[in-house]
A and B are shown apart, each in its own frame.
Chain A
Amino acid sequence: MRDSGLKSAAPSFGSLRRVMGLVRKESLQIARDPSSYLIAGLLPLVLLFLFGYGVSLDLRRVEVGLVVEQATPETESLVAAFRNSPYFRVHLARHRQPFEDDLVAGRLKGVVVLASDFGDRLGAGETAPVQVIVDGSEPNTAGLVTFYVQGVWGTWVGEEALSRTGLAVRNVTPPISVEQRYWFNPELRSHNFLIPGSIAIIMSLIGTLLTALVVAREWERGTMEALMATPITRLEFLLGKLLPYFVMGMAAMGLAATAAVLLFDVPFRGSVLALVVVSAAFLLAMLPLGLLISTLTRNQFAASQAALISAFLPAFELSGFIFEIDSMPWVIRTITHVLPARYFVPCLQTLFLAGDVPQVLVPNTLALLAFATLLFGLLVRSTRLRLE
């Protein structure tokens, strides 16, 4: 009687009390369950280490073969230019055959050929081609090797021009030269954009995994029936479940961002406030997804598997963190739009490297909030607090 009186007198207070009670119970459960520490504390760091050290697109000391069919002073100086480049580890030979075999075996990533008439043609003022053969089985490396060879060659042409007479300068300088400026990341460290992107992937996994097991566990242990016997409403139940994990998720996010800056020297040029807002929006989308999986499967095994498959793989492949979304066929590009991580990756890259750019942050955060609303709505609809 007393309870019902309380309820009618102060419904909002009773509701708040019930939610807080559930939050307390859930927090205690988290605190006593070592697996939640593993998921929110250890997993982000381990994954960040793996991504940070293991995934890099910066070519460092690529093995290339340099074929000099006939040595002349010109080829000598070009060889020296290649040897001085930080991008290449150069192997020399007079014939291309052994290097072609190495290219097949994958020991070399590219072969540069200076044909026997290279020096003569250069001396005679004719076009002397520098041939580059790259391994197309790794298209990205192939493109970069070509790009770096062009760079070494361009510098060499410039220096060669300086050391010669005025006529020769005109001979080697192209009419139009290209100057490149890379904003936000002038040293072209791939870490600088891969690590913020990988935080989005790590948080997709953690956000989903944290809540995926929660309701499934209640069903499996039979404590769901006990909850049903209480006067709690669906909304209160979900809020009570989500709040503690939201706090944990934000802590994991803080851990990952701090590690990115301190351990991997990624600059952070945005504001912490913007990072908190964007991350909160992202977690609000991911946590209900995990809870939804959990509610639908009612089974910890299936829930963890679904979380891994639905959160990790698509985020890895379709979020644009390593594979450019613009380069994908349009069908796949359309599919990427239903992925929260796709909106989180550009926000993080921008916050870390460029700063608070509202044109990037606002639309993406709104998209994340739309996801959060949609998923939360689905979650409320599919949550059953009655036994059928």
Chain B
Amino acid sequence: MVDRVVSLIVKELLALWRDRKSRTILFVPPLFQMLIFSFAATEEAKNVRMAVLNRDSGTASRDLIARFEGAPTFTRIDHLSSDGELAQVIDSRQALMVLHIPPDFSRDVWAGRPAKVQLVLDGRRSNAAQLVAGYSAAIVDAYNAELPRPGRGPRPASMVVARTWFNPNLMSTWHSVPSLVAILTTLMGLVVTALSVARERELGTFEQLLISPLSPTEIIIGKTAPALLVGVAEASGMILVGVFAFRVPLHGSLLLLYAAMIVYLFAVIGVGLFISALAKTQQQAILGAFVFMVPAMLLSGFASPIENMPDWLQTVSYANPIRYFMVVVKGVFLKDMPTVVALGHIWPMALIAAATLAAATWLFKRRME
């Protein structure tokens, strides 16, 4: 029996390799994702264009503006002269933020009266705008701390000191590369299995498999193993690139990462086999894979945190295997996640894997009769 299964696995891998379409699927999306996406998934605000409307002629406003000019977040600072220009640069998206300094600003500051600056931000990009407002508040705070304080007491009474763990410089690649490992593993496991049976059906070779001495279980194993191998291989490639090319730290245990990956792949392969058993053509299979992949990806916590979703959708997302795997991959890479914590995310994946594989086997056997 082992011989039969092994030869089926070898045949599957060869079929995958020799077919030009399959090879494209195997290599093009990962390459594209690696080269483009790991850089494109930015979660911080950089190269921001801002403008200043300075109605003050004193030195305090000049000092403050100089601090903004020195900040690495801002690449270009335009100087405006009227409210009309302010509205125009925001409306036309030429600036994400305008720093508005009122007329008596410097006089108030030097006289020890409370002074105020206004930030006008583009709410069409409210997420980036909030991040930039946070940076700006920090710049103003730093300036506050250095101002002489006649009659104001010795020092500010309290201040917020922020520290970022696991990713002190908030590098977006540290976030995107581990996420990419999870997404690529999903894509490979899903597409390889979804296509394999559909291709056999299209070519008419599925009947040949059925009349061979292979039992349905053996066929399923023979279809599962190549996807597992390809998935693990591609993920390993991604991990290597992540660590050596993108310099993402790998603090945790590789063993734990691979254990989680294999359990996760079983869950995805179960879904792939299910689609495969339903689809009559490769086109239906790829559409089926897409129909699963898009919601699974959107609801995985990769584009936006799961906690931000409405409660009912959070409940739905418990059935989504990517959400658990994403946490483990990021945890192992960045946080040196302890085994116990990782196991807490691995067992739901094992449960999902058992369910999807059982459903796929059932459907498969029914279809074969």
* A residues in contact (CB < 8 Å) with B: 47, 50-51, 53-63, 103-106, 109, 122, 125-144, 146-147, 149-150, 153, 157, 167-168, 170-186, 188-190, 192-193, 300-302, 304-305, 308-309, 312-314, 317-318, 322-324, 326-329, 331-332, 335, 346, 349-350, 353-354, 357, 359-360
Contacts and interface: CB of A to CB of B under 8 A. Distances in A.
B117 A178 contact: yes
B174 interface: yes
Contacts of A184: 122-124
B125 A128 contact: no
A323 B41 contact: yes
Given A127-B159, A175-B152, A190 B331 contact: no
B124 A349 contact: yes
B163 A301 contact: no
Contacts of B125: 193, 324, 349
B120 A137 contact: no
Interface residues of B, number: 108
18 contacts: A50-B295, A54-B304, A55-B303, A56-B304, A104-B335, A126-B154, A127-B156, A132-B160, A137-B166, A139-B172, A140-B305, A142-B164, A144-B130, A177-B114, A179-B118, A181-B118, A301-B281, A326-B46
Of the listed residues A60, A183, A188, A322, the one surrounded by the most CB atoms of chain B closer than 10 A to its CB is A183
Interface in B141-181: 141, 143-144, 147, 149, 151-168, 170-172, 174-175, 178
Given A57-B308, A150-B160, A153-B160, A137 B334 contact: yes
A328 B128 CA distance: 13
A62 B166 contact: no
A175 B174 contact: no
Contacts of B307: 59-63, 109
Given A129-B161, A305-B286, 13 more contacts: A51-B298, A56-B308, A138-B175, A142-B167, A149-B160, A174-B144, A300-B283, A301-B281, A317-B36, A322-B303, A322-B304, A327-B44, A332-B40
A177 B143 CA distance: 11
A50 B294 contact: yes
Given A150-B160, A175-B152, A326 B47 contact: yes
B43 A140 contact: yes
Contact of B313 (A54, A58, A192): A54
A221 to B, nearest CB: 14
Of the listed residues A122, A137, A312, A317, the one surrounded by the most CB atoms of chain B closer than 10 A to its CB is A137
Contact of B137 (A150, A185, A329): A150
Contacts of A129: 158-161
B93 A182 contact: no
Interface string B290-321: 10001100110001110111100100000000
Given A125-B154, A174-B141, A131 B304 contact: no
Contacts of B37: 313, 317
Contacts of B172: 139, 327
Which 4 residue pairs across A and B have the least CB separation, nearest first?
A185-B123, A136-B167, A359-B92, A327-B42
Nearest to B171: A139
A57 B126 CA distance: 9
B337 interface: yes
A134 B119 contact: no
B353 to A, nearest CB: 21
Contact of A302 (B21, B29, B32, B304): B21
A192 B154 CA distance: 44
Contacts of A353: 123-124
B161 A130 contact: yes
A335 B88 CA distance: 28
Given A54-B298, A326-B48, A182 B123 contact: yes
Given A137-B334, A193-B125, A327-B45, A176 B116 contact: yes
B115 A175 contact: yes
A335 to B, nearest CB: 7
A185 B126 contact: yes
Contact of A141 (B64, B137, B305): B305
Contact of A133 (B28, B120, B122, B163): B163
A125 B290 CA distance: 61
Contact of B121 (A61, A146, A182, A317): A182
B39 A329 contact: yes
B215 interface: no
Given A130-B158, A313-B32, A53 B310 contact: yes
A50 B303 CA distance: 12
Contact of A105 (B130, B131, B170, B337): B337
B128 A185 contact: no
Nearest to A353: B124
A135 B309 contact: no
A329 B46 CA distance: 9
A302 B163 CA distance: 49
A60 B40 CA distance: 26
Contacts of B361: none
A360 B91 contact: yes
Contacts of A57: 127, 304, 308
A86 to B, nearest CB: 13
B273 interface: no
A137 B335 contact: yes
B52 interface: no
B45 A324 contact: yes
A309 B335 contact: no
B341 interface: yes
B25 interface: yes
